[in-house]
Amino acid sequence: EEKDWAIISLFNEVLQHFEHVLITLEGDGQQRKRKEGYIGAYGCPWDTLLGYEYLLGKMEVYKAAAHRYPDPEHFKVNINLCWKKLDKYYSRLDETPVYYAAIALHPAYRWGYFEDVWADRLDWIQTAKSLVEELYRSHYEPRIISRDRERGEPVTKKRRIYRNPFDEYREESRQAPTLLQPPSSMTTLLQAEDAASSSTNAVGDEYSDWFRDVHKSDQNILDPISYWYERREEYPRLSQMALDVLSVLPMSADVERLFSTCGRMVRDDRARLDASTIGMTQTVRSWHCGGYIKSTEKLLEDVKVPGTDLSTFLGSYIKHGEDMELAYRILNDGWKTVYQSNAVVHTMAPETLKKAFFMFSRWERTMYTFLCLGYPALTARKAWKLWSTFRRPHSPSLPDILDKEKQDAETLIT
């Protein structure tokens, strides 16, 4: 019936608001240029509390206008049940200060956001402020922070369009922070209580200083991580807390996507990939997707390392972690490769070793039993000793290395 379709359309309209919030929170929290052309991030921890407020506000609107919709009594019951479920999980935010801290340490919101949306809930504001300050005092204030750091990149420019109604709500929430307007009576009361509670704090307290240091331009900041990175010298402890809190993903969706990506990477024919190789590959992939690198080709180029006295490598054990630096020096500076075993020094031309290393790396990703480098077996075994030393502690077992003229019909890597 037409009435049934009207009810279905109404519930579809209501559920779209939940979809907008869900999709927004499923992001990876990285600032990048979106398909619509603006710069923005999705999956940010401060959007969690905003999402609850947005949805609860929408439920209040639908409840107040229920009489205008088909089957109003049934619709109102469903809205009430939805509101109760949201409120149940909203009240559990007190179990961790991260969600409150993500809003409070965002320069576009601070405590002014709570004073706007919780204007009639002074006890809620005080609870949130106590939780956040306790987190700072107990975990970050005692830290010894080094100030020897480099400057970061500038903050991202403000975007000007909205993808959905929740995007618009997020933007409107930052446009009129209470702290930038003449203080209300409640604001004055809160500030007085803050002053009383912080009277015992040391002069120059980062936590108190930052909340007093408000600028009109703060409401236009979209990337709080860049904001805090630039202020890590001025607020070394508070910036560390902010970077930790603001980097937390509100959902595990991005982590689950990474698991799936790794699963597609490690197929049956790549089962012998080392964990470090998988980690490095996924890191480079993340950099590429985030726009931090344009091409991965330069990462595969040989790195030139200034020469070092060759005698420093004679008679010494090559420690794990030094292997790649030594290999680059050997392969790029035209040295003869040196490996000492039982007081006998073996030498090999650099071009021979370079090909050998490449073939060994290919062989390691296969299940082949035999290996042929196109060189005499004795030369290949010498190369294997050096390469396996570089590979410690992940060195595979020595394969059967054959002379080129003795390949016969065996399965070989050549």
Mean pLDDT, consecutive 10-residue segments, the chain of 414 residues?
A: 84 91 83 72 87 92 85 88 92 89 92 91 92 92 64 44 72 56 48 48 72 86 89 90 89 81 81 79 77 63 39 34 42 38 40 60 53 54 61 54 45 36
Radius of gyration (Cα) for the chain, nearest Å?
Answer: 30
Residue 379's pLDDT is 58
Residues 6 or more apart whose Cβ sits within 8 Å of residue 239: 228, 229, 231, 232
Residue 375's pLDDT is 52
Chain segment 286-309, per-residue pLDDT in tens: 777 767 677 665 555 444 334 433
CA dist list (Å): 29 to 40, 46, 84, 258, 294: 9, 10, 29, 14, 20
Residue 315's pLDDT is 32
DSSP annotation of 178: G
If one counts every other C-beta atom within 10 angstroms of the C-beta of residue 200, the result is: 7
Residue 297's pLDDT is 58
Residue 52's pLDDT is 92
Which ranges in 152-197 belong to alpha helices (H)? 165-175, 185-197
Residue with structure tokens 């054959």?
402
Which ranges in 233-349 belong to alpha helices (H)? 236-246, 253-265, 275-289, 323-332
124 burial level (CB within 10 Å; 0-12, 13-18, 19+) = middle
Residue 366's pLDDT is 52
Residue 16's pLDDT is 92
Name the residue type at position 234. Answer: E
Pairing of strands 337-341, 370-371: unpaired
On average, the pLDDT of the chain sits at 70
DSSP 94-133: GG-SHHHHHHHTSTTTHHHHHHHHTTT-HHHHHHHHHHHH
User: Would you state the torsion angle of the CA atoms of residues 177, 103, 218, 134, taken in this order, to the nearest 10 degrees?
Assistant: 100
* Domain extents in the chain: 2-246, 253-300, 310-406
Residue 296's pLDDT is 61
Residue 210's pLDDT is 93
